[in-house]
Structures are given as C-alpha cells and as structure tokens.
Amino acid sequence: MVSKRRLVVWALWLFGLAVLLHVRTANAAPWETDLGDRLQAALSGGSLLFSYGLAFLGGIATSLTPCVYPLIPITVSLFGARDVPRLAAMGLAACYVGGIAVTYSALGLVVGFFGGQFGAILVNPWVIVPLALFFLVLSASMFGAFELSLPGAWQAKLSSVGGKGPLGAFLMGLVAGIVAAPCTGPPLAALLAFVSTKRSVFLGGSLLFVYALGIGVLFFVLAGFALKLPKSGRWMDGVKAVFGVVMIVAALYYLRNVLPRLRDYGQSTGTFLAVHAGLLVVGVALGGLTRSFSDGGLLAVRKGAGVLLLVVGLYGGVAWTLAPRGSLVWLTDEAQAVRLARAEGKPLVIDFRADWCVPCKQMENVTFAAPEVERELRRFVLLRIDTTPLTDDLVALQKRYESTVLPSVLVYSRTGQRTGWLREYTPPDGFLKLLLKTE
C-alpha cells in the first residue's frame, strides 16, 4: 500500500508539473476591463479559471505545511471539539476562514491597485537580493536546519484574539494568516507577481480570496468531520522538501533580474526540457524528497545531491518556459530603429517588456512566435526595449512613448502614425489583424 507521505509528495509534484505545462501552453484571451467579460472567460474554461484552480491548490498545499499546524489546537477548541451540531461548527469554520480570506484578499487588492509598480519593485537589486536570501532561509528551515515558527508567546496571544461566537471566529481568522505566513512565501509571492502584471483590483482580491479558501479546506474538514489529523512529524518531510526545493528555485527566479548568467540560461528545445526532466527523476530517485539530512553520512550526501538535481531540473523547466521562441531579429537601440524605419520606409513595432511581466512573456512566446505573425512582422522594423533593470534613460524613454505600464506594444505606419497600441496580452489573431491594416 502506498504511504500517505508518498501520496502527498507525488500530488504536490503533479501540481508543479501542471503549473509548468500551463505556463508553456497558455494562450489566454485578452483581459477585458468589464467584470462580466472576466466571469465569462472563467466560465468558458479559459486561462483565468485555470489560474483560480492553481491558487486554490496552492492554498491546500500551504495548509499541509508545519506553519499551519500551530493553528489546529486553536481551531479545534473553537469549533472542532465542542458538543455542538455539525452545521453550527461549519458556520464557525466559515467565519474563521472568512477572516483568513479577508487578510489575504486585502493584500491582493493593494497589489492589484498599484499594478506594475509592484512588479517594477521586483527588479530592484536592493529588493531582489534580500528577497532571494529570505527564500533561501525559508528553504533551509524546510530542510531541517532550524525550526521556523512564530514564538510561543505570540501564538498564545494571537489565539486569544476575538473570543467566542461567529465574530470571535472571524477575528481569530484575521490573524491566523500571520501564523501561517512563514510557509506562504513562494505561492503568495507568485500570486502577487502575477496580479501585479494584470493591474486588476478585482483579480487581485478574488485570486487571493481563492488562495485563502484553499488554506481553509483543512479547517472545514476539522469542523465538519472532527477528524484526528496525524501529528506533525516525519510524514511531513516530503511536503517540506518540496517546498524547500521550490523556495530555492524561487530565489533563483528572482535573481535572474540581476544575474545575467541565470537570465540567459535556458533553451526552447525539446532536448533541453527532456534533460532537465531527467534530472528531476534522478533527484527523486536519490532521495531528494524522502531522505533527511539528519540521517548523516552517505545518506545525507545522497540527499544533498538529490536536492541539487531537483533544483537544477526544476529551474531548467522554468528557464525553458521563459526562453525566446521564433526567429525574428529585434533591435535594441531606439534611435537606430527609428532611423532605419525612416530610411527604408518601413512600419515600426516597439515592444516594451520586462522579465517580471507575465503578459510580456505571453506576447513573446505565443503571439510573436506564431508562424503567421512572424511572416507579417518581417516587413516591419522591430524594436524591443527591455526595462530590466530600469535605468533613468529607460524611464525617460517610457514616458516619451507613454509606456510606463507593461505590457506595451506600439505599432507605427511608414509615415510615423501610430496605428495600434496594445496594453494587455493579445492572442495571435488579434495582433495579426492590427499588422495587416498597417502600411
């Protein structure tokens, strides 16, 4: 019989594989400004619905980490161990989870409101390096270097917030997210970075709300079924190892913005992906997810080698999704591109982008790489302006073209008239129509 620990480990790795495949194959519809259009896109099974599903699964995965376990005695005393009807217990659980959801949703609303300004912060070395170090510290904790949790006195004080009843449950839920904070780093940072590129208050609040609901599944189970969960112990090593690897890869991902070697690593070929998938398999076989560094000796060495291969393999998969596709040649000097377009009487396309901008990557890897779009773009002069890192000259250039928010793709005719301006992800068909009408 397959052990519970192995089931959890493989479930989390399948979740990670689903994320990787989605990033590679996503071809989402434009992000409309109308709320009804957003809901329609979700109901039609588009990329938006998939994003909500991943946020929910990420919340569930977070609830399986040691940071959430200190909340269990609190919640059991609140609604899981009382002699009350199950319906009443579920109501208290809903209030408690509602408090958690309000905490995270508020954060999502703030990031959605400020939009690209949040993403721009993530390319500043003074922000990136401490953030990467923070992820590495969290990773060390997941691998057993030290125990990461709020001090016992803090937990006791937080557990006394609110009192009894629905209001008390809600107030306790508001602070519960603080207790779980040490383990929310990678999934929460990924969600916020995604929200920042969409510049949507609705998306920011709703996506973080769904993430909080995922965390709350555990508490609904406690309230509805009064199940006795296994004690925190060795069975969670696999879960912690997965999060440890993900945190290291998250640190490397953010360091791409300041380390050229990390940024240039990666190819879009099937061979590159197959090699790194093989490294993942070997890393698992060596015990990167199941063994412990506390075993000592050769077993600890095997664990370390397995973790290293898992990190390289997973980062290689991320680099594969970000690697440029297509054979188009883009200029990088604005003055040179404008002179060339005027001298040869050609139309001009200007693409403002950044490494942290998810829609920019979609435009590059999906829209620009589409064969029919590539063929049409060959009659244009192509200019790509990478705002990573953002210098004073780039800021001035962005202001001149009114492109301070990303993505921003501008299309100019032979006479220098602007015929199109894309400020959100646009699929190949929509972009092709714009190109065909530009002379």
Decide if pLDDT at 295 tops 50: yes
What per-residue confidence (pLDDT) applies to 417? 93
Q: Taking the CA atoms of 154, 156, 159 and 164 in sequence, report the sign of the dihedral they define.
A: negative
What per-residue confidence (pLDDT) applies to 36? 32
319-345 pLDDT tens trace: 888 787 777 889 999 999 999 999 999
Decide if pLDDT at 25 tops 50: no
What per-residue confidence (pLDDT) applies to 253? 82
410-434 pLDDT tens trace: 999 999 999 999 988 888 999 999 9
What per-residue confidence (pLDDT) applies to 112? 73
pTM: 0.58
101-120 pLDDT tens trace: 888 888 888 877 766 555 56
Mean per-residue pLDDT over the chain, rounded:
75
How far is residue 71 from each of residues 17, 167, 177, 227, 409, measured CA to CA in Å?
Answer: 29, 18, 10, 15, 47
Q: What CATH class is the domain 334-436?
A: alpha beta
**Alpha carbons 374 and 19: distance in angstroms, whole number:** 27
Listed in order, the ranges of the chain carrying CATH 3.40.30.10 are 334-436
Cα–Cα–Cα angle for 218, 163, 220, rounded to 5 degrees:
15
Higher pLDDT, 17 or 238: 238
Bridge-partner residues for 215, per DSSP?
A: none
155-168 pLDDT tens trace: 555 445 444 567 77
DSSP output for 123-188: T-HHHHHHHHHHHHHHHHHHTTSS-----HHHHHHHHTSS-SHHHHHHHHHHHHHHHHGGG-HHHH
